[in-house]
Structure 1
């Protein structure tokens, strides 16, 4: 749980901080610099990956035999914990996709500017990232991790529905905080399963 929490901190932090930073840049300098800065950032990341990523070894264990796809599919279909993890991931990513796609549009309709929309994304990112480490520890210490995943998904559902009734920045940020905490709980727990 803890290790997965640290790993996914980067995944979801990046997916959420990108829109937050983009909203801030768009507010002060317009949309063109958002794309230019994003491209430059990705190039810097490429350089870091090239320098830091170790060489991989593609060795197969002795006696390895490739199995037919049909057999692999049958085995996967019987793996109920894996199917449950896939379903949590599907539901959670659906919620994240809704957030990233529609919250900026709807918030703008409510009179919220690009800079404040960036704050909404920043709140979600901050609480999503910071909750992953303690929730990773928590998932390592409980017997029934599925309860934590379900609680996280319920919180995510409430937060997504809450955006639909939000009419001011305070509500948007409150539901963004709930979403971040809920995703931190659900995804870190699933990663530990």
Structure 2
């Protein structure tokens, strides 16, 4: 329990700290003279470095232990906040700082999630990961609110300081409360890292990667361009626009724990399919929405679908990571899919906005997510040789949907 609580708070502190600053960065960059392209580069530098380094650090943590990467990543986050205050005098320096911040994020996420996955009891993977994911969504929800209040009451430096203090506290707690590296399961196994080729040829893992990427693509669209749609077509106030985005994040966070419990009792593949289709329907609903109430309902539905699909994917990833003895590498790949999806979602929506209409971006996102669910069903269809109770050996969702068998895990 002590380890879980330490990891929970460390990730919550890191995500909250970043959430405090990130929504304010476009305004801050604009005050330094940045145009649209440079503002995009500030965010792209973070996403690109995070995407590149996630699988590398995840795999390294399988050999060297989780604690060094968690502590180092949180320490870099704290230093980044100082760099924002001392060196962010022009747009180029902001891009460089965000580049380093992306590397720190790549150190923390796969190591923390792999650590939690390894301490999760067998058969309780969904419950454990669902409870832990709450730290991520709470941080994403509270961070922007705190950042806005700090900026209004003081200035941008206050937000940077708060981010640094949160990361420093998480770092110190990890140093003091996490067990020594030598006691970690990953280090005690003393196994060699699995070749990337073997992991990438795993059809079930590839299917999880694809669904996670397309779900994140829809998140990228919603977070980046739902505010634009709400402002341009409906002329909502800033408070209403903020509420639309926050609703989905909050609902997804609140459903993580119950959906995690459900993932331990129901067929996890079936939950991925149901959650993915609900999220896809919600994104399509944004295109059709005629008023604020409809947009709010779509945002809430997207949160519900996201809570279902995320809990099930993470539970399946934990089972796969334990089975392969490469939890860090598996979590690195899953998080890489998320980062790629977020980046592609914003780019696709921006392209659709320029070429056609912004509303069409949401139907395109919905189609891609629904298509990934179909791909998932095909790639994880029943195989006689595979008896993994957590993934391929559980009752197939495809068979459930087709009505071929009455019950499942």
TM-score under structure 1 length normalisation: 0.81
- Superposition deviation, residue 64 in structure 1: 4.0
Unaligned runs of 5+ in 1: none
- Whether 1:6 aligns to 2:131 is yes
Q: 2:259 aligns with which of 129, 135, 138?
A: 135
- 8 Å Cα contact 2:276/2:306 also seen in 1: yes
User: CA contact under 8 A between 2:227 and 2:241: conserved in structure 1?
Assistant: yes
Deviation at 1:2, TM superposition (A): 0.9
Which residue of 2 is the match for residue 191 of structure 1?
Answer: 314
Q: Residues 44 and 7 (structure 1 numbering): CA distance in 2 closer, same or farther, change over 3 Å?
A: same
Residues 62-97 of structure 1: per-residue CA shift (max 9 Å, x gap): 764466xxxx13211332221121112101111110
1:93 aligns with 2:216: yes
Q: Is this contact kept in 2: 1:125–1:180, CA < 8 A?
A: yes
RMSD: 2.8
Worse-superposed segment, 174-183 or 40-49: 40-49
**Kept after mapping to 2: 8 A contact 1:132/1:188:** yes
From the CA coordinates, give the structure whose radius of gyration is larger.
2
Q: Deviation of residue 15 (structure 1)?
A: 3.1
Counterpart in 1 of 2:167? 46
Matches within 5 A, 1:92-131: 92-109=215-232, 110-131=234-255
- 8 Å CA contact retained: 2:247, 2:303: yes
Q: Structure 1 residues 18, 188: closer, same or farther in 2, change over 3 A? A: same
* Greater RCO (Cα-Cα under 8 Å, separation 6 or more): 1
Cα deviation code 1:109-133 (max 9, x no counterpart): 1111111111112211221111111
Alignment TM-score, normalising by the size of structure 2:
0.41
Aligned residues: 184
Matched position secondary structure for 1:141 = coil
1:187 CA drift (Å): 0.4
